[in-house]
């Protein structure tokens, strides 16, 4: 039996699967100790992750070494635990949905997408290489998955630098707090590694997908750029561009778009993105435009003619299909594959079954909301993990895993000890739902007020400066 066959499907009981997990974990450790080939280690890790997913499905619990499964695990007819989530989560660049109140099963998604988990070893390595305490998004698993991050760090340790690329699809004038997640983290990466950044505003994409005019999409791009600039990016190291502007002014960028287009078939793009015969041809060709910033020679004003500078893309995992396609094409057109860091989704106020949406005012906390609006939205709409009555809550405690107010605090509260105490108090019943919501309101109100203040300082001239193709203050 090969390693690929030795997965959870052959395990007839939770204990049998638990023993397979122990053996596979030991195999991964021995391969790392023996400094085996990276491909062999990666394959072993992927199998370990798959076994963990199978174990959770079978038992309803996470696998923990040294904690064998209970003998009285209740199995359902299909072999899954009775509370197992047998419906596959929907995750693509336009839709995110799950039936699980805790949100998307990210371990399962890692296996499905074929990425690698950001484990403690990688977090420690980022700390060592950068010389900085890891960002709270890394410490708390908000950025949870990666592709080739070890390769980026290997090169950086040998004084070979890289650049960052992230983006935003501007579908409305106002962004919400969930949109800030990749930008907050990207700014931290830019600061600690001292590297250039390109930010793509896909106003062309929004025109193709939404019922908006071309002029509206471009205006939203400029307005969104102001919110992005307000995150504190260094103008000397950051280039923000609108596709509608830059595609027409950069032959090098467009040539890379065409190269990608030539190497992806219609069948492939239908398979990756689910396009149908009734989709406009603009949608079918768009993925090549999102791929092009992954290649350094798309920006000759920054990198000259260099085409071998590694790109690192921090993004939510729903954008991964674009870059799986890009990574497949890159070696065939003579470029390095972009590396990725994937974040979890920022949940809607109504619960983690969907991500926050800019099109539903009550599902989102917008960056334009007043302190009163923030308070009302959290109090009225934030899904609670608390019990129905104060007496029940005091007795049994709340469920922080499904409580949206607690989820939001994991994103925005910096102090790890304070966050852990809030969780313990809420779980024990010492902290009531109303008190938890109050903590969130008092965290969000000043954060958003400060953002609004910084945005007021962003002039049209500053936007023009960020969006003008130019050399950046960096030498490779």
Residue 4 lies in a domain: no
Alpha carbon distance 120, 129 (integer Å): 14
**Strand 351-355's sheet: what is its strand order?**
90-91, 96-97, 351-355, 347-348
Residue 31 lies in a domain: yes
Range in 127-136, 232-241, 354-363 with the lowest mean pLDDT:
354-363
Residue 400 lies in a domain: yes
Is the predicted pLDDT of residue 82 greater than 80, yes or no? no
* Count of domains observed in the chain: 3
For 342, the domain range is 96-350
Report the pLDDT value the prediction gives residue 214, as an integer from 0 to 100.
97
**What is the percent of the chain with per-residue pLDDT over 90, rounded to a whole number?**
70
Neighbours of 30 (CB within 10 A): 11
pLDDT confidence of 75, banded at 50, 70, 90? very low
Average confidence score pLDDT of the chain: 89
CB 433 within 8 A of CB 386: yes
- pLDDT by residue (tens digit) across 433-464? 999 999 999 999 999 999 999 999 999 999 99
Same domain, 429 and 324: no
Give Dmax (Cα) for the chain: 68
Report the length, in residues, of the chain: 476
Spatial neighbors of 456 by CB under 8 A, at least 6 apart, are none
More confident residue, 452 or 32: 452
Is the predicted pLDDT of residue 469 greater than 50, yes or no? yes
Same domain, 127 and 232: yes
Residue 158 lies in a domain: yes
Residue 78 lies in a domain: no
Same domain, 104 and 22: no
Same domain, 320 and 412: no
pTM attached to this predicted model: 0.80
Q: Which two tokens stand for residue 147?
A: 């592709």
Report the pLDDT value the prediction gives residue 39, as an integer from 0 to 100.
76
Same domain, 45 and 171: no
CA distance from start to end of the chain: 49
pLDDT confidence of 11, banded at 50, 70, 90? low
Residue 472 lies in a domain: no
Same domain, 206 and 316: yes
More confident residue, 109 or 79: 109
Query: Which ranges of 34-148 does DSSP label H, i.e. alpha helix?
Result: 38-59, 106-113, 120-130, 136-139
Q: Which two tokens stand for residue 175?
A: 């962004």
Residue 362 lies in a domain: no
Collapsing DSSP to helix, strand or coil, 8 comes out as helix
Nearest partner of 175 among 151, 148, 201, 193, judged by Cα = 201
**What is the percent of the chain with per-residue pLDDT over 70, rounded to a whole number?**
91
Same domain, 332 and 389: no
Nearest partner of 92 among 235, 259, 226, 283, judged by Cα = 283
Distances in whole angstroms, Cα of residue 163 to Cα of each of 40, 183, 303, 308, 418: 28, 15, 10, 11, 34
Same domain, 377 and 432: yes
Same domain, 152 and 272: yes
Same domain, 315 and 413: no
Collapsing DSSP to helix, strand or coil, 115 comes out as coil
Neighbours of 236 (CB within 10 A): 12
Is the predicted pLDDT of residue 79 greater than 50, yes or no? no
- pLDDT by residue (tens digit) across 329-350? 999 999 999 999 999 999 989 8
The domain that holds 404 is classified in CATH as 1.10.240.10
Same domain, 278 and 248: yes
Is the predicted pLDDT of residue 193 greater than 80, yes or no? yes
Residue 71 lies in a domain: no
pLDDT confidence of 74, banded at 50, 70, 90? very low
Same domain, 276 and 324: yes
């Amino acid at each position: 039996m090969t390693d690929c066959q030795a997965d959870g499907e052959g395990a007839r009981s939770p204990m049998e699967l638990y023993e397979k997990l122990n053996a596979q974990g030991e195999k991964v450790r021995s391969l790392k100790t023996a400094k085996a080939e990276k491909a062999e280690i990666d394959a072993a890790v992927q199998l370990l992750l798959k076994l963990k997913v199978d174990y959770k499905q079978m038992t309803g619990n996470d696998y923990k070494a040294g904690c064998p499964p209970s003998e009285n695990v209740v199995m359902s007819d299909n072999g899954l635990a009775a509370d197992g989530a047998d419906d596959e989560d929907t995750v693509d660049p336009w839709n995110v949905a799950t039936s699980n109140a805790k949100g998307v099963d990210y371990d399962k998604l890692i296996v499905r997408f074929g990425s690698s988990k950001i484990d403690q070893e990688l977090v420690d390595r980022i700390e060592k290489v950068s010389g900085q305490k890891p960002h709270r998004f890394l410490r708390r698993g908000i950025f949870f998955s990666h592709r080739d991050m070890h390769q980026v760090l290997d090169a950086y340790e040998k004084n070979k630098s890289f650049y960052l690329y992230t983006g935003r699809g501007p579908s409305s004038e106002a962004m919400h707090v969930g949109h800030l997640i990749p930008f907050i983290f990207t700014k931290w990466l830019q600061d600690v590694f001292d590297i250039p950044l390109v930010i793509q505003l896909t106003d062309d994409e929004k025109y193709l997908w939404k019922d908006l005019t071309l002029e509206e999409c471009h205006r939203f791009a400029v307005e969104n750029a102001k919110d992005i600039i307000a995150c504190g990016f260094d103008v000397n190291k950051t280039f923000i561009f609108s596709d509608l502007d830059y595609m027409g002014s950069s032959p090098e960028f467009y040539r890379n778009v065409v190269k990608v287009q030539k190497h992806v078939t219609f069948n492939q793009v239908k398979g990756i993105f689910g396009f149908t015969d009734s989709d406009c041809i603009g949608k079918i060709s768009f993925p090549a435009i999102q791929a092009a910033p992954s290649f350094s020679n798309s920006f000759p004003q920054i990198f000259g003619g260099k085409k071998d500078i590694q790109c690192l893309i921090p993004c939510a995992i729903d954008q991964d299909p674009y870059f799986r396609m890009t990574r497949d094409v890159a070696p065939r057109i003579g470029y390095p594959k972009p590396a990725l860091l994937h974040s979890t989704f920022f949940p809607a106020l109504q619960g983690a079954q969907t991500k926050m949406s800019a099109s539903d005012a009550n599902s989102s906390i917008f960056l334009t909301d007043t302190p009163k609006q923030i308070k009302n939205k959290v109090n009225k709409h934030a899904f609670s993990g608390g019990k129905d009555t104060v007496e029940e809550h005091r007795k049994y405690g709340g469920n922080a895993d499904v409580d949206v107010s607690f989820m939001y605090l994991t994103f925005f509260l910096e102090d790890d000890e304070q966050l852990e105490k809030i969780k313990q108090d809420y779980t024990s019943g010492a902290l009531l739902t109303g008190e938890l919501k109050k903590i969130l309101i008092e965290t969000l109100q000043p954060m958003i007020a400060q953002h609004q203040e910084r945005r007021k300082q962003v002039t049209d001239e500053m936007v023009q400066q960020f969006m003008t193709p130019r050399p950046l203050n960096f030498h490779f």
